[in-house]
Each structure stands twice: as structure tokens, then as C-alpha cells.
């Protein structure tokens, strides 16, 4: 028997970095997904293979053995998956051997929530395979615990969007609020191809905040106003205003030092090609940018970003979170 499950990637439309200081961030799930196939094994090994990362390894008791790829990378990428599997096995009440095959279409370390999408998909596939009844809230909690291995103290944005899909407003003190978005949000995602560390970028902003507390407080206030105005634009199905707000939001992110040359090339190319708005998404310092566009302009903007050195794909909001593809 085998089960295949998937979970979506995400983009932060507004509010990254400022969310760390209690301000709201607006996030949507996109139709780019990570897939996980789970099968039973006759032994007690948890065997994990990632086709897109070219890694294969297994966990057995406290042993970890790499069969393909760099051992350090395999340990880093597979440890969150192992934790998720073990949480499901705890609920199952007995140990079991499993083959887990991961195939993700989401760029890694690019700010699109690839690791959370993988773990949410694995959790959903394994729990279904073993007939373990797990609620969506539990999928979220398991994914969040696994994300701590990768990111230290994650905000919870990535696990939430991978689990529930749709659009969310997130704030540290109040958590997640689902948003009802009745409009299409056509995006071009441009990937610089430069992997970056969220932690490094967050630390950089923290140091700036310590040096210039009053200035940073004003910028943080502005970031909140952008998100509040964006909520109105979404209700009004007003793409132009959303685009303008994305440009203003990017200016703030550039001001606090989290953009870089690789992102600026792509963002400027998108705007020149007719994007309504363009900004970095996620931590910055490489990774991805997003461009909002009318449908008839998507291909033209995509081509302009490619010419500027990025790899691109067109994405749309998806309302579906973690789901079973085949059982």
C-alpha cells in the first residue's frame, strides 16, 4: 500500500521582518506543491529519499546512514522529516518501517516555505497510510515542531499556510486569522538562485533596530499601515492598489538592508516590464521576489525577469492546504 500527499508553498505578500516585532503579515498559499509518498516496509527503518535534492538516507533506532548525497545536508534536511514521522508513530502506538519519497516542486531556501510544505505532506501521507486519525491542527503542530529544527524559533507562518492553505493574516500575539480572498492574485515568482539564511537576515534587522530604535519604530508603524490598507484593497478586488503597496513595502525592506543586488535586478526588470508591483518575499538577501501583474502581462514580465538573471514561474493563490493525492 502507498499514499501520496501534498502541501503548498507560500509567499508573504506584506509584512515580512516587521512581523518579528509584533506587526501583521499577509501570506497566501500558492499552487506550487511538495509531494510525499509513504509506503510500509518489512523492517523498522525509516528510509527517506528526496529526488529533487538527490539525497537518500535511513534512520534505524539511533543510527543514521546516508546512502546518497552529502551526509551533512542529508541530516539537516531529513531530521525534520524524521521528527514528524516519529510524532505520527507515537500516536500510532507502535513502531513501523516506512519508505518516504519526497518530490518537491518548491525551490529550497528561497523564502517559499519548502521545508514546511515537505513536512506537512509527509505528516499527512504517513498518518493516512497508518490509519492514524490526525486533525489539521495536529498536522500544523507537528510541522511547527519540525520547523524548529531548521529555523530555531520560527514564526509559524510556513507550517500554518502549508497545512491550511488559502490566505492568512498572522500576528505574533494573536496568531492566525484566515482571510476570505475572492479575487485572483496573479504572480510571477522570480528566484535569484541564491540560498540565504533567514536567521542571518533577522539578526541583521535586530542589530539595526538596536542602533536606531526610534527610526525603526516609525518604519514598523508604516509596515503595519501597509498591511491594513492591503486588507481593504483585497476586499475591493483592487489590484492596482495592491501593487503600489507592494512597491512601498519593498522600499521599507530595502531601507532595513534585507534586499540585495540579485533581488534588485529582478524587481526593477519586473516593474519595467509592466508589473503593478514587485518586492522581495521572505527573508531577503537572495531567495525570491514576487511581481503582481494582470494576466495578459504575466509572460512578458516572466521573460523580463529571466533576462535579468532569475528563474521564474507563474503562481496563483490556492485555497487547498495539505491534502491526499492518492491512497
Q: What is the pLDDT of residue 198?
A: 79
Residue ranges covered by each domain of the chain: 2-179, 187-315
How confident is the model at residue 56, as a pLDDT? 95
- Work out whether strand 97-104 and strand 46-50 pair parallel, antiparallel, or are unpaired: parallel
Q: Which fold has domain 2-179?
A: Ribosomal Protein S5; domain 2 (3.30.230)
Q: Which of 31, 158, 203, 260 is catalytic?
A: 158
**2-179 and 187-315: identical CATH topology:** no
**Residues 115-172: tens digit of each pLDDT:** 999 999 999 999 999 999 999 999 999 999 998 877 666 778 899 999 999 999 999 8
CATH fold for the domain made of 187-315: Alpha-Beta Plaits (3.30.70)
- pLDDT value of residue 153: 66
Q: Is 158 annotated in the active site? A: yes
CA neighbours within 13 Å on the CB side: how many for 55? 21
Q: What is the pLDDT of residue 84?
A: 94
All residue ranges of the chain with pLDDT < 50 are none
C-alpha cell at 20: 518579528
Amino acid at each position: 500500500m502507498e499514499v501520496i500527499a501534498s502541501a503548498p508553498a507560500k509567499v508573504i505578500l506584506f509584512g515580512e521582518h516587521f512581523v518579528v516585532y509584533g506587526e501583521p503579515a499577509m501570506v497566501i498559499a500558492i499552487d506550487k506543491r511538495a509531494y510525499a509518498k509513504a509506503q510500509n516496509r518489512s523492517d523498522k527503518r525509516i528510509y527517506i529519499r528526496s529526488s529533487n535534492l538527490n539525497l537518500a538516507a535511513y534512520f534505524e533506532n539511533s543510527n543514521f546512514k546516508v546512502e546518497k548525497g552529502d551526509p551533512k545536508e542529508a541530516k539537516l534536511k531529513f531530521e525534520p522529516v524524521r521528527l514528524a514521522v516519529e510524532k505520527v508513530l507515537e500516536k500510532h502506538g507502535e513502531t513501523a518501517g516506512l519508505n518516504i519519497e519526497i518530490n518537491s516542486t518548491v525551490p529550497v531556501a528561497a523564502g517559499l516555505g519548502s521545508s514546511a510544505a515537505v513536512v506537512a505532506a509527509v505528516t499527512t501521507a504517513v498518518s493516512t497510510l497508518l490509519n492514524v486519525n490526525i486533525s489539521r491542527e495536529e498536522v500544523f503542530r507537528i510541522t511547527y515542531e519540525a520547523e524548529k529544527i531548521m529555523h530555531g524559533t520560527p514564526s509559524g507562518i510556513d507550517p500554518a499556510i502549508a497545512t491550511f492553505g488559502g490566505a492568512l493574516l498572522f500576528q505574533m500575539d494573536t496568531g492566525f486569522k484566515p482571510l476570505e480572498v475572492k479575487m485572483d492574485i496573479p504572480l510571477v515568482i522570480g528566484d535569484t538562485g541564491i540560498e540565504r539564511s533567514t536567521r542571518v537576515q533577522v539578526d541583521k534587522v535586530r542589530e539595526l533596530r538596536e542602533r536606531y530604535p526610534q527610526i525603526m519604530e516609525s518604519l514598523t508603524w508604516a509596515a503595519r499601515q501597509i498591511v491594513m490598507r492591503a486588507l481593504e484593497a483585497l476586499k475591493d478586488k483592487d489590484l492596482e492598489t495592491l501593487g503600489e503597496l507592494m512597491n512601498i513595502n519593498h522600499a521599507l525592506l530595502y531601507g532595513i538592508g534585507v534586499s540585495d543586488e540579485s533581488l534588485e535586478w529582478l524587481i526593477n526588470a519586473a516593474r519595467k516590464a509592466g508589473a503593478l508591483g514587485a518586492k522581495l518575499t521572505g527573508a531577503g538577501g537572495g531567495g525570491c521576489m514576487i511581481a503582481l501583474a494582470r494576466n495578459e502581462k504575466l509572460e512578458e514580465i516572466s521573460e523580463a525577469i529571466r533576462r535579468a538573471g532569475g528563474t521564474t514561474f507563474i503562481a496563483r493563490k490556492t485555497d487547498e492546504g495539505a491534502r491526499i493525492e492518492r491512497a
